[in-house]
Amino acid sequence: MRIFQNSGLYPSYLRHFDRLATGAVRFDERLRVFLNDRFGALHFLQPVLDRSPDAFFTNGDDHTLQKYWARENGMPSSSALEDILIAQIEHHRADVLYNLDPIRYGNAFVRKLPGCVKKTVCWRAAPSGNANLSTYDLVVGNFPSILEDWRKKGCRVASFSPAIDPVMNEYGRGERPIDVLFVGGYSRHHSRRARILERVANLAVTRSVVFCLDASRFTRLAESPAGFLPPLRKHRRPPAISRIAKEPVFGRQLYDLIGQSKIVLNGAIDMAGEDRGNMRCFEAMGCGALLVSDSGQYPDGMEPDTTIKVYGSPEQAARLIEERLADGPGSLQMAARGRHRIASIYSKSAQWQRFVALAERL
């Protein structure tokens, strides 16, 4: 199987990555820096991480990366990103496309694919409005309710999970000086998450609490000198949060920070009903922290009171964290049990075998 995997980058990560990739002026050099940083690696198929010649990977929305490839392969520098991506697929002679960015590259893109591509699979685990992905042969994800929505739109769907990055095994083997860590997005639209964060932030009076927040543009403006303007005031973060908020972290920086943390706090943002199991859950457990997350339907291996702890309200989250910190040995034992379970269930080899089986059925 000649597999082509396409992904995409968050704007906030791209700023971080551009600094990491300073001096990388060729496609292979910039891609090597990206893959080594491990951002999104839970989604990357084993042949990609192994750098197999049968696998090609790119970030189709990374203008710099894609323009490097175009220049090195004789395409005009003015070429559109979609044209570059199609040329890469044809150049690799891929027979299977696995696209992690299908809203950007949707049905119209699939219809333009070269004839070498026999099967098309995309990952989508978030609500997508009126988007239609029915031209893809298969839509995969790990939230049953969202897969059901795609099925009702006429898509063929299948359950597919992230996999623990083997590099995670290098992290979290020493002291854990951070009591509670939260890493994620923050805006006034994340109202439930915001209430939980505010309540837990108050623990910073006596505990080591670290919040690395990817704040919205309006929140950043509200906390700038322009924040005195009335329309922006509602976007300010509560003082308890703003006092401890740090810049977002990604990739290996995130792994390292989780590896220094006893507890990783997680909170869903009401995008998948009662379904749970977002990337932070896998990252937290994979790096050996105790996951404390909101109640809901979790995938195999994430078992409340056995491998994770769950809460039902902001107040309960704070109490639960205090209880877990007070029972240090018990919490370490639960976190270690979770790390072992999640690594055994969601290995890269198992993920790849599942993908091959799904592709062969198409």
What structural domains does the chain harbor?
3-163+347-361 (3.40.50), 166-345 (3.40.50.2000)
CA–CA gap between residue 237 and residue 240 (Å, rounded) = 8
Q: Which of 205, 213, 219 is nearest to 183 (CA)?
A: 213
3-class secondary structure, 159: strand
- The pLDDT value recorded for residue 130 is 85
Mean pLDDT over 39-52 rounds to: 98
Instruction: Tell whether the model's pLDDT for residue 272 goes beyond 60.
Output: no
The pLDDT, as a whole number, for residue 221 is: 59
Residues 6 or more apart whose Cβ sits within 8 Å of residue 179: 203, 207, 208, 209, 261, 262, 263, 321, 325
Q: Report how far residue 24's alpha carbon sits from residue 169's, in angstroms, rounded to the nearest whole number.
A: 28
- The region of weakest confidence among 135-144, 236-245, 327-336 is 236-245
> How confident is the model at residue 63, as a pLDDT?
97
Judged against a pLDDT cut of 70, whether residue 199 lies above it is answered with yes
Residue-wise pLDDT tens digits, 60-90? 999 999 999 999 999 998 999 999 999 999 9
- pLDDT computed for residue 81 by the predictor: 98
Q: What is the pLDDT of residue 225?
A: 56
- Higher confidence at residue 132 or residue 355? 355
CA distances from 245 to 79, 144, 222 (A): 40, 33, 14
pLDDT > 90? residue 233: no
Q: Please tell me the predicted confidence (pLDDT) of residue 94.
A: 98
pLDDT exceeds 70 at position 181 = yes
What's the average model confidence in pLDDT over 255-284? 89
pLDDT tier at 112 (50, 70, 90 boundaries)? very high
Confidence tier at 129 by pLDDT (50, 70, 90)? confident
Give the Cα separation of 191 and 47 in Å (integer): 40
Considering only 28-37, 194-203, 223-232, 290-299, which range has the smallest mean pLDDT?
223-232
Q: What is the mean pLDDT of residues 246-254?
A: 96
pLDDT of 355 above 90:
yes
Give the model's pLDDT for residue 120.
98
Give mean pLDDT, residues 150-163. 96
What percent of the chain stands above pLDDT 70? 91
As a whole number, mean pLDDT of residues 1-17 equals 95
Query: What is the DSSP annotation of 191-258?
Result: HHHHHHHHHHHGGGGTS-EEEEEEE-HHHHHHTSGGGGSHHHHTTPPPHHHHTTEE----HHHHHHHH
Asked whether the predicted pLDDT for residue 320 surpasses 70, the reply is: yes
pLDDT average, residue stretch 159-179: 97
Count how many residues are written for the chain.
362
Any idea which of 275-279, 306-310, 328-332 has the lowest mean pLDDT? 275-279
- What phi, psi does 46 have (nearest 5°)? -55, -45
Q: Supply the mean pLDDT for the chain.
A: 93
pLDDT above 70 for 22 = yes
d(CA 313, CA 128): 28
pLDDT-derived band at 122, boundaries 50, 70, 90: very high
pLDDT band for 271, please (50, 70, 90 cuts): low
pTM: 0.94
